[in-house]
Chain A
Amino acid sequence: MAKFYENEKSETNKKSDLRIKAIENGTVIDHIPCGQAFNVLKIMGINENFKKTVSFVMNAVGSRGGKDVVKIEGMELTEKQVAAISLIAPNATVNIIRDYNVISKTQIKTPNEIHGIIKCINPNCITNSKEPIQTSFKVESESYDESILRCKYCDSIISDDIVKHLF
């Protein structure tokens, strides 16, 4: 498992490929569709107040074509964050780094249903009132770029700019 990261380290040692410094402990999210790195950071709640090292590459040339890559020192993803990232980056991989080694590499899987992450687009949906429920969406289709979500309560569809509807 560590081999993946060692390869990456050796790549970063080549001057021509040098892009991002390796991280000691944290998370590397790879194979993000081009242009979605900022949205991944938003999902992870990373803003100007975040104090640890964050680095990312946009429009990198990978084996599967163009991609964005995000590396965050000292942070691992929660289950909810992984589900949210899967909506905008269904083919991303999450690598957990400990002591410069990749201890796990997981292909993100888009769940069939998403709970409590996205706010319903319909202001008149029962989930947008003071009821003791969390939002729930069926993931109707997933493309390389983004998924289509259908509210389980009111049938409204969210297909564009899903990140805009994150809680």
Chain B
Amino acid sequence: MKLNHMLSTKDFSRKQIDSILSLAEKFEPVALREKRCNILDGKILSLLFFEPSTRTKMSFETAMLRLGGKVIDMGSIETSSVMKGESLADTVRVVSSYADSIVLRHPKEGAAFMASEFSTVPIINAGDGAGHHPTQTLLDLHTIRRESKLDGLTITLAGDLKYGRTVHSLCYALSHYNARINLASPPELVLPDRIIQDLKNRGIKVTKFDTLENAVKDSDVLYMTRIQRERFPDPAEYNKVSKEMRVTLKLLENCKPDMKVMHPLPRVDEIEPEVDKTPHACYFKQAFYGIPVRMAVLVMAMEEKYGKVL
């Protein structure tokens, strides 16, 4: 039987993405506690997190519980068989006999794909190293769809575009929607050339900007990411870069009045707290949208008749 794994959005068609987002929208009243739904009653979701996570893990748990299902958690790796040297393949084989689906976060790229080869239940990738984090991409797309527009979007991607897997996946997904992509990042953290080339091959207009100010002028969405201090051996250089790549009230004076600011969170210094009160701030809503999107993903993974829900 073919399992509905969720490993990456890279090879998703627009039709597949749209159907997940439509289902997510139907689940919003459940996520908001306005409506009850027990579609996953009797199902068990297993969480295998080999790396720390707050939002992703809790939002998967919330999504499962609100749909009537139950959650089992491997807990920290210090207390698991992993410490005894068990392979991921064996862990997945065993846990897939306990649960109806597995959410996996692992530090190695390709871990979720490998897990799907050993599992007898659907694997949902919750991040594999610098690789994929498909539910983050889907919730980003859902946020854009609900708070701005997906078709013909102009988006500025800013911050760490070199190592940030969320922006990489988002770029590929946006290529289905004829987006224009503006890039603003420190020279050390530019989007890899192979991704820019892939996007251009898909007919996407990609423009590099020297400053965040110039990039956001015509944007519908500013997608900000965190620049990690450890990327810069020189603290002075980090301070300079983080100051330049900061969303401030002054920056927002020159952008479109309905431009939305998104961020995968956690943020550190890249968005000043005063921005939270403006209509541009969209990052907390974005975090909320993680619930309905993950509900849709869980239902698609575990419920064959998901088309008939709600």
A interface residues, Cβ below 8 angstroms from B: 122, 124-127, 129-133, 151-157
Contact = CB atoms under 8 A, between A and B. Distances in A.
Q: Dominant SS at the A interface?
A: loop
Nearest to B114: A126
A131 B194 contact: no
27 contacts: A124-B129, A124-B130, A125-B109, A125-B110, A126-B88, A126-B109, A126-B110, A126-B113, A126-B128, A127-B114, A129-B108, A131-B87, A131-B89, A131-B114, A132-B89, A133-B117, A151-B110, A152-B113, A153-B109, A153-B114, A154-B109, A154-B110, A154-B129, A155-B10, A155-B109, A155-B110, A155-B131
Contact of A154 (B89, B131, B194): B131
Interface in B83-136: 87-89, 106-111, 113-114, 117, 128-131
Interface of B: 10, 87-89, 106-111, 113-114, 117, 128-131, 194
A133 B109 contact: no
- Among A126, A133, A155, the one with the most B-chain Cβ atoms within 10 Å of its Cβ is A126
Nearest to B110: A153
B88 A131 contact: yes
Contacts of A131: 87-89, 114
B113 A122 contact: no
A151 B114 CA distance: 12
A155 B130 CA distance: 11
A125 B108 contact: yes
A125 B107 CA distance: 9
B239 to A, nearest CB: 29
Contacts of B114: 126-127, 131, 133, 153
A69 B22 CA distance: 60
Given A154-B131, A155-B131, A156-B109, 16 more contacts: A124-B107, A125-B109, A126-B108, A126-B110, A126-B111, A130-B87, A131-B87, A131-B88, A133-B89, A133-B117, A151-B110, A152-B110, A153-B110, A155-B10, A155-B109, A157-B194
Nearest to A133: B114
B89 A153 contact: no
B89 A127 contact: no
A153 B130 contact: no
Residue among B87, B117, B128, B131 with the highest chain A CB neighbour number at 10 A: B131
Nearest to A153: B110
**Minimum-distance CB pairs A-B, first 3:** A153-B110, A154-B109, A154-B110
